[in-house]
Amino acid sequence: MRYFRAAFNLVYTYYPYLLKPAVWPAIWRMEIAERVSRLFGKQKPSRTADAAVDWCAHLAISTEDALAELNVAVANPETIYPEVFDQAKQAEGNCPIKMGGAGNLTLLYSLVEGLNATRGIETGVAYGWSSLATLLSLQKRQGQLFSVDLPYFKLRSDNWVGCVVPSGLRGNWQIYRCADREGLPQATRAAGSIDFAHYDSDKSVPGRLWGYDVLWNALRSGGLVVSDDIGDNDGFQQFCEKIGIAPIVVVDQGKYQGILRKP
């Protein structure tokens, strides 16, 4: 009975994706490979959240101080574009499912502005709050955003991914609807050298280390990588140590973001 239920859940969750080969490798990794390794007793890697939070808390400064350190003016997109945000909030309200919410949009928007960016990559779209903030800045320079997002399979979120982004901002926006492992190589090929990257998708340590590396290699000299939720585990710290660069760590509403500038 247990195996029958497990098989039924698998089929029920994934049948809408039978015709979407871009997500097959992610399904394989997330479900099949994990179930098999659990069956053979391989444990999931333990998380090191407490140590990561301590490391972040020790380094953390405010959004304003971080932007001052980078010589960038503070700009809150919500106060600059109130109507766009009112409509975006309505769009989120009309969305029938609950997805991951917005991060530090003032930080993101200000950095894209400060860089005068024309090309960026982000991982993790969900409603599209970070995409909205980024595109509002990029549109001024006809810049392009390349996003990678794996839908929440169980929520059937595909049709709602990016729903807060108005149609007028979508012209220069390309979304790869698959996991980072498949989407990031495509996005970096399409984008070429980028001014910035925003990481907000796979929060596991191996996922972060792999994704940061790809983004770092695509970044131009002087460009920035911003990562959300770096207090979840020590993935960001490990990457900083690997490349030997001191990050700027920002605390905003109890959550930590990390910023790295490429020399």
Ligand X SMILES: C[S@@+](CC[C@H](N)C(=O)[O-])C[C@H]1O[C@@H](n2cnc3c(N)ncnc32)[C@H](O)[C@@H]1O
Question: Which residues contact ligand X (rule: CB under 6 A)?
Answer: 99-100, 102-103, 123-130, 148-152, 179-180, 200-202, 207
* Least gap, CB of 2 to ligand X (angstroms): 27
Containing 248, the helix (H) or strand (E) segment is: strand 248-252
Would you give the DSSP letter of residue 142? T
Say if CB 194 and CB 230 are below 8 A apart: no
Nearer to ligand X, 110 or 221 (CB): 110
Nearer to ligand X, 8 or 159 (CB): 159
Nearer to ligand X, 119 or 198 (CB): 198
* Least gap, CB of 247 to ligand X (angstroms): 19
Pairing of strands 219-227, 255-261: antiparallel
Nearer to ligand X, 29 or 246 (CB): 29
Nearer to ligand X, 7 or 155 (CB): 155
Say if CB 214 and CB 187 are below 8 A apart: no
* Least gap, CB of 157 to ligand X (angstroms): 7
Which residue has the closest beta carbon to ligand X? 100
Nearer to ligand X, 180 or 195 (CB): 180
* Least gap, CB of 188 to ligand X (angstroms): 14
* Least gap, CB of 20 to ligand X (angstroms): 14
Positive or negative CA dihedral for 121, 133, 57, 205? Answer: negative
The CA–CA distances, whole Å, from 251 to 55, 227, 259 equal 12, 12, 11
Distance CA(255)–CA(92), nearest Å, equals 22
Closest CA to 145 of 125, 128, 122, 126: 122
* Least gap, CB of 197 to ligand X (angstroms): 12
Structure tokens at 205: 């340590």
Nearer to ligand X, 52 or 102 (CB): 102
Say if CB 61 and CB 251 are below 8 A apart: yes
Q: Per residue, what are the HEC states of 72-138?
A: CCCCCHHHHCHHHHHHHHHHHHHCCCCCCCCCCHHHHHHHHHHHCCCEEEEECCCCCHHHHHHHHHH
